[in-house]
Amino acid sequence: MAALVSKFNLARLRSFCCLYPMFNLKSPRELICLVVTILALMSQSLADDQEFIEDFLKREYSLAKPYRGLGFSSSSQWDLMGTAMVTPDHVRLTPDLQSRQGAVWSRIPFFLRDWELKIHFKIHGVGKKNLNGDGLAFWLTKERMQNGPVFGNMNQFTGLGIFVDTYPNADKTHDRTFPYVSMMLGNGTLAYDHDRDGRPNELGGCSAMARNSIHDTFLLVRYSRNRLTLMVDVDGKQEWKDCADVTGVRIPLGYFFGASSATGDLSDNHDLISMKLYQLTVERTPEEEEEEEEVTIPRVDDMDQFQVEVEEEGMSGVHFFFTLLFSVMGLGVLAVVGLVVYNRWKENRRKRFY
Ligand SMILES: [Ca+2]
């Protein structure tokens, strides 16, 4: 549909260009008129595209100005937590003060299979570079509204975590520049290692100069056909730069979106301006529908680290061993008892014959 709309506008522009030589521009006034007409056509095209995008915007999972449906009332779609505060321009998760934690969590479980999340955020503060912290995190997890050590959320979370880490905790490894954006898939047992800036369990990431930036800073998370892509736009060029891309990622349905932040000895203002969720239209053949298995625990295919034994659907190794052991012992006891009884019976029978 977007393509159609754009094509239509392109056609309009082209027909206009064909007409162009026919115009005999005699005065600067006519030239201005021409430029205005072209600009009007172009803005129309942008507006149409915008409309197309808005069609797929899922408002119930999005958070944007003027931040209605956010707060403590029963009709709210988002809950606030800790130091999170709504202003006309942003949701401030933490102020530029030490030891604060703030978060915002969606109340509605999420059930779309193919989607795109565009996040507009701002991290700024008075601290010098690398004397600020700790950063921001965005979530799609089973758990919600928990306090903890992972940018203001619990550790051993179940689901997706996207981090904008602004402080190098593992400062001896000068392998990356901060802020560093990364993603991790938690399964309830894997931990985010804060002291190592999440290196052991990260799925991928990139450096992004997203702090005290004069430009607007954005993240894009796309999840479609089990492929998870992370992109950043922090240079004011209005273009997405690839950051991480992983296939075979299985995220169960029914999880919650959230954003959280924490400050420690070092601090920053961590502002969330918007989180916009778009549904992606993906055609699937009946065979593909059949192949699409429903997962209960997040995992990444071909990455052992992200696999856990599903114990509720079968016996664990230890359970199986003891069941087998006791069964064998039980059979042994039965055999012995049976043998004794049989010998007694045989003896009695022999005695009767004498
Ligand atoms: Ca860090």
Per-residue pLDDT tens digits for 152-163 = 999 999 999 999
Q: How far is the CA of 168 from the centre of ligand 1 (A)?
A: 5
Q: Which of 124-138, 167-181, 202-216, 222-236 has the lowest mean pLDDT?
A: 167-181
Q: How far is the CA of 164 from the centre of ligand 1 (A)?
A: 9
Please determine, for residue 5, whether its predicted confidence score (pLDDT) is greater than 50: no
CB atoms within 10 A of CB 296: 14
The DSSP string of 33-85 is: HHHHHHHHHHHHHHHHHHHHHHHHB-GGG-B-TT-TTBSSSTT-SEEEEET-E
CB atoms within 10 A of CB 210: 26
Summarize pLDDT for 100-114 with one digit per residue, the tens: 999 999 999 999 999
Summarize pLDDT for 332-352 with one digit per residue, the tens: 889 888 888 888 888 887 776
Summarize pLDDT for 264-319 with one digit per residue, the tens: 999 999 999 999 999 999 988 888 888 888 899 999 997 776 666 554 444 566 77
Q: What percent of the chain has pLDDT over 90?
A: 61
Q: How far is the CA of 89 from the centre of ligand 1 (A)?
A: 27
CA distance linking residue 63 with residue 288, whole number of Å: 32
Residue of 258, 249, 239 lying closest to 114 (CA atoms): 249
Q: How far is the CA of 282 from the centre of ligand 1 (A)?
A: 36
Please determine, for residue 226, whether its predicted confidence score (pLDDT) is greater than 50: yes
Both tokens assigned to 120: 């507009």
Q: Which of 213-222, 238-247, 300-309 has the lowest mean pLDDT?
A: 300-309
What is the amino acid identity at position 63?
A: L
Answer with the residue of higher pLDDT: 304 or 194. 194
Summarize pLDDT for 71-94 with one digit per residue, the tens: 878 888 999 999 999 999 999 999
Q: How far is the CA of 197 from the centre of ligand 1 (A)?
A: 4
Q: In this structure, are residues 243 and 204 in contact, taking their beta carbons and an 8 Å threshold?
A: yes
Which pLDDT value is given to residue 16? Answer: 42
Which pLDDT value is given to residue 326? Answer: 85
Residues 134-145 have a mean pLDDT of 98
Helix/strand/coil percent split, the chain, to 5: 30, 30, 40
Q: Phi and psi for 35 in degrees, rounded to 5?
A: -60, -45
Q: Which listed CATH number (2.60.40.150, 1.20.1730.10, 3.40.640.10, 2.60.120.200) goes with 59-305?
A: 2.60.120.200
Summarize pLDDT for 316-335 with one digit per residue, the tens: 667 777 788 888 898 988 98
CA distance linking residue 324 with residue 316, whole number of Å: 12
Q: How far is the CA of 115 from the centre of ligand 1 (A)?
A: 28
Answer with the residue of higher pLDDT: 282 or 1. 282
Residues 31-46 have a mean pLDDT of 57
Q: How far is the CA of 176 from the centre of ligand 1 (A)?
A: 11
Q: How far is the CA of 286 from the centre of ligand 1 (A)?
A: 45
Roughly how many angstroms between the first and final C-alpha of the chain, as a whole number? 102
Q: Does the reported pTM lie above 0.85?
A: no
Q: How far is the CA of 128 from the centre of ligand 1 (A)?
A: 16
Q: Which of 52-56, 206-210, 256-260, 293-297 has the lowest mean pLDDT?
A: 52-56
